[in-house]
Amino acid sequence: MNQVMASLLVRNGQVVKGKQWNNWRVVGTLAQTCQLFAYRQIDSLAILCLDDAFDAVTVTNALKDVFLPVMAGGGNPKLDLFPFDAVVIKHPCEIRRAQERLGKQSIVAAVNSITTVEDALQAGAGQLLLQSKARDGMMHGYDLDFIRACRNYMVPKIASSGCADYEDMHMALSEGADHVCAGAMWLFTDRTPQEAKNYLSLKGWTVRHSQRSGFGPASLAPTIRNGTPATTRNAGRSGVPS
């Protein structure tokens, strides 16, 4: 099953977006952005903290009514009571420590070069989040050369950084990615996860099609205006079962 994912960058409890890992600006609250993606039938979330300390309480509270698989990391997360499905880690020494506590399948290594890929796998990573600083937030397409170079590594690979449209997702999967993740495309365009799944399904990929859950009437669903989730009042929140 090829997943269509959303990446959320968090600073001081707010969702931010930038370009090339810089120039961050706030685009919404974490809780409402997570609810928005649940309503729009995303398959899973990657929540990456940009602060020095990972705020598990804020992230957990934001997800309390959202029923989606979540990988989270950044900011040196404490692993003894890690409340999410998987942890995203960069440094090999941290990967080894996390593997002892959580198991290989729950370790997602954030990598941006073949060297970091090999170091992460040697340390025990069970999945790879393929990143590109040059393409981050630019919406110029994924780094297909990097994805292609990683295709023979026998762990799940998640393409991220640079997605602009559904064809980019198809190309990433064609070059060896197992799942596709987007950030700016979801926040700043009218493209939706369900349309992405429809497109990928027509291209022959196996995706999860789900019925919209009991989030509430469509008139109460969160929307994005100028890149920011609009506030909704008294909207029910159940998310999409994983």
Sign of CA dihedral 147, 150, 151, 155: negative
Q: Is residue 60 part of a domain?
A: yes
Q: Are 220 and 236 in contact (CB under 8 A)?
A: yes
Q: Is residue 180 part of a domain?
A: yes
Dist CA 15 CA 229 (whole Å): 10
What are the distances in angstroms from CA 89 to CA 53, 61, 85, 97, 198?
13, 22, 13, 10, 31
- CATH code of residue 177: 3.20.20.70
User: Which of the 8 DSSP states describes residue 108?
Assistant: E
- Its domain, for residue 102, covers 4-205
Average pLDDT for consecutive 10-residue bins of the chain (242 residues)? 96 93 94 94 95 85 92 81 86 88 91 96 96 96 98 97 98 98 96 97 93 40 39 28 28
Residues 6+ apart with CB under 8 A from 213: 38, 39, 238, 239, 240, 241
DSSP 14-35: EEEEEETTEEEEEEEEHHHHHH
Dist CA 139 CA 155 (whole Å): 26
User: Which structure tokens are listed for 136?
Assistant: 């981050």
Q: Is residue 214 part of a domain?
A: no
Q: Is residue 231 part of a domain?
A: no
Q: Is residue 218 part of a domain?
A: no
Count CA atoms within 13 Å of residue 118 on its CB side.
4
According to DSSP, the residues that pair with 16 across neighbouring strands are 9, 26
Dist CA 180 CA 194 (whole Å): 13
Q: Is residue 67 part of a domain?
A: yes
Strand spans (E) along 37-184: 44-49, 70-73, 86-89, 107-111, 127-130, 157-159, 179-182
- Domain count for the chain: 1
Query: β-strand 224-225 against 228-229: which pairing, if any?
Result: antiparallel
pLDDT at 173: 98
Q: Is residue 229 part of a domain?
A: no
pTM of the model: 0.85
Q: Is residue 90 part of a domain?
A: yes
